[in-house]
Amino acid sequence: MRLVVDLTRCQGYAQCAFLAPDVFTMHGEEALLYDPNPDDAQWDRVRRAAAACPVQAILVDQTEIPATAQEGTHVR
Amino acid sequence: MSADGPERAHAFKKGGHIVIVGASLAGLRAAETLREEGFTGSLTMIGDEPDQPYDRPPLSKQVLLGMVPAEHTALPRRREIDADWRLGVPAIGLDLDAHRVRLADGQEIGFDRLLIATGVRARPWPNENERDLDGVFVLRTNGDAARLRRRLAARPRRVLVIGAGFMGSEVASACRELGLEVTVAERGPVPLVGALGGVIGSVVARMHREHGVDLRCRVTVTALEGDPSGRLRRAHLSDGTAIDVDAAVVCLGSIGNTEWLAGSGLAAGPRGVACDAGCRAFDVNGIVTDDVFVAGDVARAPNPLYEYNFLFLEHWGNAVAQAEVAGHNMISCGSARRPHLAIPAFWSTQFGVSIRSVGVPTFADEMMVMQGSLEERRFVAAYGHRGRVTAAVAFDQAKWLDFYRELIMAAAPFPPSFVPVDRPPVMRSMSPEFPDPALPSHGATVTITGHLPNDQRVVFTPARA
Amino acid sequence: MTPDTMLKRITDYGSRADPYPLYAELRKTPVARQEDGTYVVSTYWEIHSLLHDPRISSDRRNLAGPWADPDIEEEDATLPPSMIRLDPPAHDRLRRQAMRPFGPPHSPEYVDSLRPELAGIVGGLIDGFEGKGQVDIVDDFAYPFPVTVICRILGVPREDEPRFRDWVDLLVSTLDLAAWDDPAERQRTAQRARLELGRFLGELVAARSRKPGDDMVSALVTGHGPDGPMSQLELISTAVLLLIAGHETTVNLITNGMLTLLRHPHVLERLRREPELAVGAVEELLRFEPPVHLLPQRVTLADIEIAGVLIPKGAPMTLVLGSGNRDPLRFDDPDRFDPERRDNQHLGFGSGIHTCFGAPLARLEGQIALVELARRLQNPRLVADPPPYRQNPVLRGPRHLLVEIDGIAP
């Protein structure tokens, strides 16, 4: 899956780094580093992270929704 | 087909042909905007790099750190764009009268409307022999990043970073995080002096040194020396010293990719292609063209807030915003066209600090630390020009910048008279300490020829770099 | 109806079930001075702007002129204000220190790692509905769930709940300005309740100082960040804040959520089939029925002009988040509940530096709770609409939410 964070908008709220910690990493207090091409297994967490971004700065590819998108939010 | 009147515009939107030269961030977002807004004609995307559009900011951070492979930064898509992709073939010429783009493989592609989004490239090391030494790198493309990452992973004994702008500082930061010895050679008195001024540059200098960077300012690299097999082994500095290095990263800024426009009649040079606030390119005479648009790093556009100066901004957010305006205007006419008025903004991440800027810090004769402290590297500083706020820079204090953006948009008085939270004990206006503009620049030179008004024309003469 | 009595109308208990028509009225005057001198701000862009405005303080000690409160310093000496009532740099330092064991950059995996435990607690509570034809979503579920969670996080013994319950109720009641005729009495009550809670949590802090466990209080006692440890009193003050904020808000999120779903049966039905809908649904709930409706404690540090109104220095401001979230100038069709709403930059957790500390935890709690309620409750039916509401206009939500069910799915 492809994603990008508009770091011009990002204000370092770190919601993404809480909700998908293997994809989004705070490097210091406010600086965000992320994996622009995470494994599809991260889809569920990435979706939570993108929805939670207070400035809606996370763009996930709209043309290649992985099949695992249907797996839902159950905690297994 | 022209698109002046509403009917023609409608016909163009349905069946016109748009060519976008430059298949990176700006080109892609412009293409998406065209489709989003109902362009159903044919669309050709031309790019000199072989890959689908990818993102560059991670290359100097995540990729160098080894967190992400260089080829893993492909940009996500907002929507399908249904384009004819011509990747890996650079455009080498433009015939404005015939509305044709010439490609390196000999093909010619006609267009009704053209978007130029060819971006910039890394300014190479000026000495061609030294440039080709094994161990000398630039960093702009994912290929550059892959090569540099491989070298860093092989743990060179010392890396030399030439130039302490944002790119140089980020590379130095990554090297230190990898535990590599690194020397930074900077011509100016402190890092980032050209972008943020000497006051904040001094803060960054301390960040470098506290993280173990061997920072050497007011020096230039005079020569890179190789061994007999062509491998870089030593660098000579202007202070007479020499250092043994296995890798050198040339971070001397960038040059607009405009050579292919030479002779086209457009106002194109090393500092980009001039265009109006609606993204329409100017011809060399300064007359706006109808069917050629520009967006992204290669564009140089006037901004009313900055006294209509033409700004050449290599900012990620600017590329996106300008591409959206260009895409919209390419299929709109008259009053439906929009100006690109976004307040410039950029970011950098280095030594664990998030640096954010809004406005144009270089457009300033004064600055003032408004919140926090320079010593703790948590602060917001406002910049002013002739008594109004023109920019703000924050270190790890990004949540306040929306407020300062509003001050900039409102042309609020500088120095600000209010007292904010977390104000320094003493608030005073000072010089931001930008370098003397008489320092060498790399701009093109323009001359006017002809005597009678009907004859007068503008010509570019080669840059004096 | 005049704008200068609007806050009174809104905080009046009669408005609790549906304050939204009042908010619409209020938004006609984006900044409205009230009879007592408080400035009420109700429109999205103005609220958003103020939350990022460094001329706005969260520290009551900056109240000036007729609003100044001479007793504050003395009260604060006993138990210092928590970070939500402080400005930078003290606020930023306390927040960094508190964040070390809770989230990034130091403990990025922590909240995510709670997911199985959250699911376990939710499952256990719903199992308890077995054999009941009617349940109270508040008392049987939405209250005990976050209380259990925050107790485990902080290291407060769950069985100690009766020891803090009454003090929390009392302290929360003091947020409701309308319920108190005498402001001084309200302040004294708040201070007393905080002190009692501080005493209770002080015992915990002392115990963890002697023998640390793997809870957050222990981590705060022993943690060594670049900022050093919090002082003992700061730690107690932080613990009081986290204990209360950790459950008094989430109970509303879950209850408002279930109520909204029951009022939109097609969404409830979709959620049953498409649990991934919960992510957007929770964001939309934070906009549509936020757990916190008012931010009553901001102060101007300078004369500021906003929406054409000059607010004098030192004046108290109340930001009506619940109204900003329904502002048609920001949100299309704002009174429609749309779990797939795009560009939903709601004010449900505030914005700026005081943005809800526990937001990621609240999001997960809300998502997991609503998915499981939707999945397991068979044929849930609302007994009363509107349900009875809590007295509180700040932390707004139902006091009870009685639901009839045919049974529970496994």
pLDDT digits over C173-228, tens only? 988 877 888 888 888 898 899 999 999 999 999 999 999 999 999 999 987 789 99
Check whether B4 has a pLDDT greater than 80. no
pLDDT above 90 covers a percentage of chain C that reads 89
C54 and chain A in contact, CB less than 8 A: no
The answer to whether B231 touches B135, Cβ cutoff 8 Å, is: yes
Task: Please answer yes or no on whether A36 and B68 come within 8 Å at the CB atom.
Answer: yes
Which helix (H) or strand (E) covers residue B293, if one does? strand B288-294
Which helix (H) or strand (E) covers residue A3, if one does? strand A3-5
What does each C-alpha distance from C314 to B56, B263, C39 come to in angstroms? Answer: 47, 64, 11
DSSP 3-state percent helix, strand, coil across chain B (nearest 5): 25, 30, 45
Which one of B76, B315, B399 has the shortest CB-CB distance to A2?
A: B76
Check whether B3 has a pLDDT greater than 50. no
How remote is the C-alpha of B253 from its chain's centroid? Answer: 8
Instruction: Look over chain C and give the mean of its residue pLDDT values, rounded to a whole number.
Output: 95
C157 burial type by CB count under 10 A (0-12 exposed, 13-18 middle, 19+ buried): exposed
Q: Where are the domains of chain B?
A: 6-63+73-121+255-336, 124-252, 345-449
Which one of B372, B380, B403 has the shortest CB-CB distance to C89?
A: B372
Say what the pLDDT of residue C184 is: 84
Secondary structure letter of residue B386 according to DSSP:
T
Q: Which two tokens stand for residue C30?
A: 């984006």
Which one of C92, C301, C353 has the shortest CB-CB distance to B420?
A: C301
Instruction: Give the three-state DSSP class for B430.
Output: strand
Find out if CATH 2.60.40.1730 is the number for domain C3-408. Answer: no
Tens-digit pLDDT profile for residues C111-130: 999 999 999 999 999 999 99
Q: Between B421 and C79, where is the model more confident?
A: B421
Residue of A nearest to C109 (CA): A21
B222 burial type by CB count under 10 A (0-12 exposed, 13-18 middle, 19+ buried): middle
Which one of A19, A74, A75 has the shortest CB-CB distance to C360?
A: A19
Kindly state the average pLDDT of the residues B67-82: 97
Confidence of residue A73 (pLDDT cuts 50, 70, 90): very low
Confidence of residue C37 (pLDDT cuts 50, 70, 90): very high
Q: Where are the domains of chain C?
A: 3-408
Closest among B85, B79, B80 to B50, alpha carbons compared: B85
Least confident of B196-200, B433-437, C356-360: B433-437
Strands (E), C106-257: 134-136
Tens-digit pLDDT profile for residues B96-148: 999 999 999 999 999 999 999 999 999 999 999 999 999 999 999 999 999 99
Give the DSSP letter string of A12-65: ---HHHHH-TTTEEESSSS-EEE-SS--GGGHHHHHHHHHH-TT--EEE-SS--
The alpha-carbon gap from C352 to the nearest alpha carbon of chain B, in Å, equals 5
Q: Which two tokens stand for residue C237?
A: 């003050």
The answer to whether C133 touches C365, Cβ cutoff 8 Å, is: no
**Ramachandran quadrant class, B132 (left: phi over 0; alpha: psi -120 to 50; beta: rest):** alpha
Say what the pLDDT of residue C243 is: 96
pTM for the whole structure: 0.94
Tens-digit pLDDT profile for residues B287-308: 999 999 999 999 999 998 998 9
The answer to whether C177 touches C168, Cβ cutoff 8 Å, is: no
Say what the pLDDT of residue B452 is: 63
A vs B, Cβ pairs < 8 A, gives 89
If one counts every other C-beta atom within 10 angstroms of the C-beta of residue C28, the result is 11
The answer to whether C74 touches C89, Cβ cutoff 8 Å, is: no
- Largest Cα–Cα distance of chain C, in whole Å? 61
Tens-digit pLDDT profile for residues B298-335: 999 999 899 899 998 899 999 999 999 999 999 998 89
Residues written for chain B: 465
- Measured CA to CA, the distance from residue B28 to residue B22 in angstroms comes to 8
Closest among C14, C297, C9, C5 to C175, alpha carbons compared: C297
Secondary structure letter of residue C397 according to DSSP:
-
In this chain, the answer to whether the domains covering B124-252 and B345-449 adopt an identical fold is no
Q: Which of residues 12-71 of A touch C (CB under 8 A)?
A: 13-15, 17-21, 25-29, 44-45, 47-48, 51-52, 54-56, 69-71
Who contacts C185 (Cβ-Cβ below 8 Å, separation ≥6)? none
Task: Please answer yes or no on whether C103 and A27 come within 8 Å at the CB atom.
Answer: no
Say what the pLDDT of residue C356 is: 97
Q: Treating both helix axes as pointing N-terminal to C-terminal, what angle do C144-154 and C359-376 enclose, rounded to 10 degrees?
A: 140
Report the b/e string of A7-23 with b at 16+ CB within 10 A: bbbbbbbbbbbbbbbeb
Task: Please answer yes or no on whether B354 and A32 come within 8 Å at the CB atom.
Answer: yes
Which amino acid would we find at residue C64? A
Say what the pLDDT of residue A71 is: 38
- Measured CA to CA, the distance from residue B39 to residue B32 in angstroms comes to 10
User: What Rg do the C-alpha atoms of chain A give, in angstroms?
Assistant: 12
Closest among B317, B254, B265, B312 to B291, alpha carbons compared: B265
Say what the pLDDT of residue B436 is: 76
Secondary structure letter of residue B418 according to DSSP:
S
CB contacts of A31 in chain B (<8 Å) are: 349, 352-354, 396
Task: Please answer yes or no on whether C104 and A75 come within 8 Å at the CB atom.
Answer: no
Task: Please answer yes or no on whether C105 and A27 come within 8 Å at the CB atom.
Answer: yes
Tens-digit pLDDT profile for residues C281-327: 999 999 999 999 999 989 999 999 999 999 999 999 999 999 999 99
- Measured CA to CA, the distance from residue C391 to residue C410 in angstroms comes to 35
Tens-digit pLDDT profile for residues C330-350: 999 999 999 999 999 999 999
Kindly state the average pLDDT of the residues C25-38: 95
- Which subunits count as partners of chain B given 3+ CB pairs below 8 Å? A, C
Find out if CATH 3.50.50.60 is the number for domain B124-252. Answer: yes
Confidence of residue C264 (pLDDT cuts 50, 70, 90): very high
Q: Which two tokens stand for residue B342?
A: 């976004």
Which amino acid would we find at residue A23? V
DSSP 3-state percent helix, strand, coil across chain C (nearest 5): 55, 10, 35
Confidence of residue A72 (pLDDT cuts 50, 70, 90): very low
3-state secondary structure C99-122: HCCCCCCCCCCHHHHCHHHHHHHH
What does each C-alpha distance from B19 to B62, B114, B237, B293, B339 come to in angstroms? Answer: 33, 5, 46, 10, 21
- Measured CA to CA, the distance from residue A1 to residue A39 in angstroms comes to 7
Task: Please answer yes or no on whether A55 and C345 come within 8 Å at the CB atom.
Answer: yes
Q: B345-449: which CATH architecture?
A: 2-Layer Sandwich (3.30)
Kindly state the average pLDDT of the residues C100-112: 97
Q: What is the CA angle C285-A44-C333, rounded to 5?
A: 30
User: How do B288-294 and B113-116 pair as beta strands?
Assistant: parallel
- Measured CA to CA, the distance from residue C288 to residue C280 in angstroms comes to 12
- Measured CA to CA, the distance from residue B457 to residue B283 in angstroms comes to 11
Give the DSSP letter string of B6-71: HHHHHHHHHH-EEEEE--SHHHHHHHHHHHHTT--SEEEEEESSSSSPB-SGGGGTTTTTTSS-GG
Q: Which fold has domain B6-63+73-121+255-336?
A: FAD/NAD(P)-binding domain (3.50.50)
What does each C-alpha distance from B395 to A29, A56, B185, B401, C46 come to in angstroms? Answer: 10, 22, 23, 10, 25
C62 burial type by CB count under 10 A (0-12 exposed, 13-18 middle, 19+ buried): buried
Closest among C299, C60, C292, C84 to C183, alpha carbons compared: C60
- Measured CA to CA, the distance from residue B23 to residue B46 in angstroms comes to 6
CB contacts of A56 in chain B (<8 Å) are: none
Kindly state the average pLDDT of the residues B54-76: 97
Mutate to test the interface with B, among A5, A6, A8, A37 (most CBs of B within 10 A): A8
pLDDT above 70 covers a percentage of chain C that reads 99
CB contacts of B313 in chain A (<8 Å) are: none
What does each C-alpha distance from C10 to B192, C51, C298 come to in angstroms? Answer: 52, 22, 18
Check whether B438 has a pLDDT greater than 70. no
Secondary structure letter of residue B135 according to DSSP:
T
Q: A51 pairs with which residues across the strands?
A: none
Whether the link from the prior residue into C265 is cis, omega within 30° of 0, is no
Which helix (H) or strand (E) covers residue C381, if one does? strand C381-382
Q: Is the ipTM of this complex over 0.90?
A: yes
- Measured CA to CA, the distance from residue B155 to residue C257 in angstroms comes to 54
Q: Treating both helix axes as pointing N-terminal to C-terminal, what angle do C359-376 and C277-288 enclose, rounded to 10 degrees?
A: 110
Secondary structure letter of residue B116 according to DSSP:
E
Confidence of residue B361 (pLDDT cuts 50, 70, 90): very high
Backbone angles phi, psi at B388, to 5 degrees: -135, 155
The answer to whether B248 touches B127, Cβ cutoff 8 Å, is: no
Say what the pLDDT of residue B455 is: 64
Which amino acid would we find at residue B362? T
Check whether B5 has a pLDDT greater than 80. no
Which one of A21, A52, A72 has the shortest CB-CB distance to C276?
A: A72
- Measured CA to CA, the distance from residue C40 to residue C198 in angstroms comes to 31
C279 and chain A in contact, CB less than 8 A: yes
Instruction: Look over chain B and give the mean of its residue pLDDT values, rounded to a whole number.
Output: 93
Instruction: Give the three-state DSSP class for B383.
Output: strand
Closest among B96, B17, B6 to B287, alpha carbons compared: B96
- Measured CA to CA, the distance from residue B330 to residue B324 in angstroms comes to 10
The answer to whether A25 touches A33, Cβ cutoff 8 Å, is: yes
Q: Treating both helix axes as pointing N-terminal to C-terminal, what angle do C359-376 and A43-52 enclose, rounded to 10 degrees?
A: 120
Say what the pLDDT of residue C222 is: 86
Residue of A nearest to C95 (CA): A29
